[in-house]
Amino acid sequence: MKFVNKIPIWFMRQAGRYLPEYMEIRSKNSDFLKLCFDPDLASEISLQPIKRFDLDFIILFSDILVIPHALGQEVKFLKNHGPFLKCITSKKDLNYKNIK
């Protein structure tokens, strides 16, 4: 066991999405999934809490809904309404060509 001078903390979920810096980037990008998939944007958002607070860890910016998106399910993030996933009723509802 290693003793440290700082108390370890863990933030869950919306890691930094309340920050003005995040809201500014979000306002310039209407496609939320682009924020998750663009390495430059995702890393910039991930670093925002580190730049603002004296923390020694980072939470990578992403969203759990990138998983169904990667599996071919249609996922949309509509402003002021939240995420929507297209209902899957058969195999043809999935777009498997997104899977690499």
Percentage with pLDDT > 70 across the chain: 84
Residue 67 CA to its chain's centroid (Å): 11
Give pLDDT tens digits for 57-93: 788 888 999 999 988 888 998 878 889 998 888 877 7
Taking the C-alpha atoms of residue 75 and residue 57, their distance in angstroms, rounded to an integer, is: 30
State if pTM tops 0.75.
no
